[in-house]
Amino acid sequence: MNYQKTNNLIGWLCAAIATATYALTMEATTSWWDPGEFIAAAYRMQVVHQPGAPLFLMLQNVFSNLALGNPQRVAYWMNFGSALSSGLTILFLFWTITALVRKIVWKSGETLTSMALLQIMGAGVVGAMAYTFSDTFWFSAVESEVYAMSSLCTAVVFWAIFKWEARADEPGGDRWLVFIAYIMGLSIGVHLLNLLAIPALALVVYFRRASRATAGGIAKSLLIGCALLGVILWGVIQYLVKFAAHADLFFVNTLGMGFGTGAAVFVLALVGGIGYGIRYSIRRVKPLLNMVLVCLSFVIFGYGSFAMVLIRAKANPSLNNSQPDDAFSFLWYLNRGQFGSEPLVNGPYFDANAVDIKQGADIYRKGGHKYEVAGKDLSYIYDRTTLFPRIYSDRDFHPQAYRAWLGLGEQEQPTFADNFKFLANYQLNHMYWRYFMWNFAGRQNDRQPLFENYTEGNWISGIKAIDQWRLGGQDALPEAMRIDPSRNTFYFLPLLLGIVGLVWHLRRHRRDMAVVGLLFFFTGLAIVLYLNQSPLQPRERDYAYAGSFYAFAIWIGMGVAGLADALKKRWNQRIAIPVAVVSGLFMAPILMGAEGWDDHDRSQKFMARDMARNYLESCAPNAILFTYIDNDSFPLWYLQEVEGVRPDVRVVNLSLLGMDWQVRQMKKPVNSAGALPITMTDGQFVKGQRDVLYYHDYGIKDSVELETLLALLLSDNPSDQLEYSNGSRRNFLPTKRFKLTVDKEQIAKNQVVPEKWHDDIVDTMVWTYNQEFVTRAELTMMDVLVHNQWKRPIYFAFSVPESQRLGLDDYLVSEGFALRLMPVNARKEGGSGERLVNTDAMYGNLMQKYAWGNMKEATYLDPTSYTLVGQSVKVFSDTAEMLIAEGRKDAAKDIVNRAVDVLPDRTHLVELAAHYPILADQLYDVGEMAKANTLLERNVAFLDGQLAYYAAIAETKPNVEGMAIRDSMVALQQFALVAEAHGQRKQHEAATALFDRYSQVFFGE
């Protein structure tokens, strides 16, 4: 009884400390990447990106009620939902560690001594609190993301496995297995990572039930565990819905009944069948069959949270990703059809050529009264394939990245062995072990490296000799790196403690060690094999391996028990055990918490919310704003859907606009924003129709009116289509020379162009289309351009790549964080210079409307935020340059002083320093000599430190960071020229001397 009370009390104390830590450091509002979408969707019960997280959204909606009607506090309380989930994860981790250590330290029939109790509890505290302050878990714990709640599900399941083991022989003990099944079913509505604990569960059951464990029995149990994992991943999650979809197909298309009838009949049949099976197992006394069916029913019952997706999709809310409102669209949603899949067993090399197309099963879409065939499931056949494909992607710049990682020449063909080289160098070392060491050895900084031989984003230890051997340059480490909050040094201590625990566990209880080892493998290395990640990932992916780091935290806790046993050989246990516990606390959680607090404290971080506001405030009323990626879309959705900021702006995500459901939604008004002026009928862009239309040069020399081209692309007349080798006919693009006749009356009426540029309005906009094909996204944009008739302002977010702007760059004028389409030549100096800036709009935006995310006072900014800092510098300098050119020096002075007031005083990135010479030049121009000198001297000192570091690295690693060296040298030269131009001799000589010195070092000049 005393043990149980102590175990519960200390467990809840650990949970309270963890929850308080996360509550103090959590983001106060939305953050980058998915949280903006999740918060917006949870607040209004909407549908998020595939494959959805309905249970997570419903629970987060509950937390939103704590805002008491204040929409600006909704994000805070949803973030607290993640903090609380994470704190409870620590509770169950503590209980798991103490249960495992207790089995070793406190033998059955023995009296529990106070020292043994301290050894057990100390192990639990150290392990649980080490995971509390681990980098990966802490990052997810303070934002409204699925990974915190997913970790809680994993922790509960793993704890419950050992609860069952302890009570398996008691009457009703198997109810713990039913509980586990239910939690796993619920976890599907959060994230699938929890299911990877199933093989470990199978091993626990085998060890508990088998009279004598054998190698064959262990192998059989693991196969059964993997089979159960497959049954849930594919049988329950996918094939149950697939059977329901095809049942619906039969009832609708064959029997002529309404949509959903067949699916409903299938569900009733499934429930009836399971119910009959359970009754049969009871009557015939078949306990194994009964347990299987009861557990299956609870998995399906938990999985039932996905009914929310169907119900809300039917309501067609503002955010209705994939619009999964029928059986087949719901199946496509669950299968992540939007994202495709990676080859695992057999696939092409990245340089292989497609030689044929293989047609698979029919793809169905919902029609007016029945399901229609939208096409075939197509797959390419390649001329060069390989087993176990690891180097398969030919998208974007992936081939070049593969060659960089593998050391292949431009024309050199990869071999089968290169699959394993890429697996070892990139997928395992770079994308798993680097993250593992971040958590338990130390992190150089949080910069994301993209290629091999990088000097940023490494793991480090803090032990100078080791870091010098691995990375070089430690004697010349620049101040910016030394004081970087994201630099954390653990001196291998948590790692060593975990290794001690692993060895101690292996020696003292091999079975349990194998169980924890299975969790470590399946939630870590097995995920690496399954994800088969391509290079150039858009963000760090360590969150995927949190379960693996959870398992290692168990061994960190056991390291305390192992250390205590080792010390007991020399000292009395009353000395050895307290010393081991205190040493463990300082080796792991205290050290990790002290090092990690500054870069995990997001309590004063508002960049995502404020920059999203800047995007929206860059737009004129009732605007159409084209965005492209997560970070220029999700925070905007949050502001519009939750805080009600600028609901008149219609945000159009171009990466989603290629889907028919997104085009359909854009034809309807949302909030205060009207529908897009799309004239295409649903039948003209539905899935299977005009998915991709290719360019075929017809030799047309003159530019063609966009309206004419749009009509051709939408024509159903066979004479307007090309016949392909497979007999199909398809629309095509005959020319890339586009033009759009300008109605100047509409331009004046709708105030599209500032009055000062009225004489520059062109009669016809002429441009060259910049793609080899037209997707549904480009087709929709053409429709909008033709039929908008300048009634609504059209903008592109600055982050939309040039390739996605239809080639319209010569007519895009900067109005801050968005580029506005205007019928004027927006390129200065005859089209070769910088972009025109609408200074009237920009002055008001910069001085009055824009917010800056506390970037100046923030002690820590993440890499995404730093990118926005660089863009902010450019927005300020572009505006000031245009104002100076217009002779408005007083206004330019206001702008550059505003820049100094809001931009960070510290420089951390070479890319950021490269933005500052122009701003320094403008400060000199408007008479702010002291501020200009301060800015210049600070950045020159930063560049000096960086170049000295690169020079030290180059002694052992030549050709490393060549681009950063070049960028630094260019920035140095620009600062020298700016200082010289404004008569600042001291600053000019200092920058010139550095430039000359490093030119000799790097280039021998």
pLDDT digits (tens, 9 = 90+) for 162-174: 999 989 888 888 9
Q: Are 468 and 892 in contact (CB under 8 A)?
A: no
Lowest mean pLDDT among 133-142, 144-153, 397-406: 397-406
Determine the distance from the C-alpha atom of residue 540 to the mean position of all C-alpha atoms in its chain, rounded to a whole number. Answer: 8
DSSP 824: S
* pLDDT for 829: 55
* pLDDT for 388: 93
Confidence of residue 959 (pLDDT cuts 50, 70, 90): low
Q: How far apart are alpha carbons 403 and 192 in whole angstroms?
A: 33
Q: Are 823 and 761 in contact (CB under 8 A)?
A: yes
* pLDDT for 1005: 66
Q: Which two tokens stand for residue 126?
A: 């150290």
Counting residues of the chain whose pLDDT is more than 90, the rounded percentage is 74
Cis check: omega of the bond before 51, within 30 degrees of 0 = yes
- For 465-511, give the secondary structure using H, E and C: HHHHHHHCCHHHCCHHHHCCCCCEECCCHHHHHHHHHHHHHHHHCHH
Of residues 647 and 630, more confidently modeled: 647
Confidence of residue 414 (pLDDT cuts 50, 70, 90): very high
- pLDDT at residue 690 is higher than 60: yes
Q: Which residue has the tokens 């918060």?
A: 39
Q: Which residue has the tokens 């085998």?
A: 206
Task: Give the CATH number of domain 837-1005; options: 2.40.30, 1.10.10, 1.20.120, 1.25.40.
Answer: 1.25.40
- pLDDT at residue 908 is higher than 80: no
Length reported for the chain: 1005
- Strand, coil or helix: 387: strand
With residue 347 as reference, give the H or E element that holds it.
strand 346-348
* pLDDT for 958: 59
Q: Are 348 and 385 in contact (CB under 8 A)?
A: yes
Q: Which two tokens stand for residue 880?
A: 């000031």
- pLDDT at residue 941 is higher than 60: yes
Confidence of residue 832 (pLDDT cuts 50, 70, 90): very low
Confidence of residue 831 (pLDDT cuts 50, 70, 90): very low
* pLDDT for 355: 86
Lowest mean pLDDT among 151-155, 281-285, 697-701, 956-960: 956-960
* pLDDT for 228: 93
Biggest CA pair distance of the chain: 98
* pLDDT for 857: 85
* pLDDT for 833: 52
Q: How far apart are alpha carbons 360 and 366 in whole angstroms?
A: 19
Q: What is the CA radius of gyration of the chain?
A: 31
* pLDDT for 110: 83
Query: 442-474, pLDDT tens digit by residue?
Result: 999 988 876 655 678 899 999 999 988 888 888
Q: How far apart are alpha carbons 153 and 192 in whole angstroms?
A: 10
* pLDDT for 89: 97
Q: How far apart are alpha carbons 59 and 40 in whole angstroms?
A: 13
- Amino acid 596 reads G
Of residues 636 and 864, more confidently modeled: 636
Q: Where in the chain is the domain with CATH 1.25.40?
A: 837-1005
Q: What is the dihedral sign for C-alpha 717, 721, 725, 728?
A: negative
- pLDDT at residue 936 is higher than 80: yes
- For 940-966, give the secondary structure using H, E and C: HHHHHHHHHHHHHHHCCCCCCCHHHHH
Work out the mean pLDDT of the chain and round it to a whole number: 91
Of 358, 426, 355, nearest in space to 390 by CA = 426
* pLDDT for 424: 94
Phi, psi of 596 (to 5 degrees): -95, -10
pTM beyond 0.75: the answer is yes
Burial category of 61 from C-beta neighbours within 10 Å (exposed 0-12, middle 13-18, buried 19 and up): middle
DSSP characters over 80-92: HHHHHHHHHHHHH
- pLDDT at residue 830 is higher than 60: no
Confidence of residue 340 (pLDDT cuts 50, 70, 90): confident
* pLDDT for 957: 67
Of 507, 480, 517, nearest in space to 947 by CA = 480
Lowest mean pLDDT among 77-81, 339-343, 361-365, 462-466: 339-343
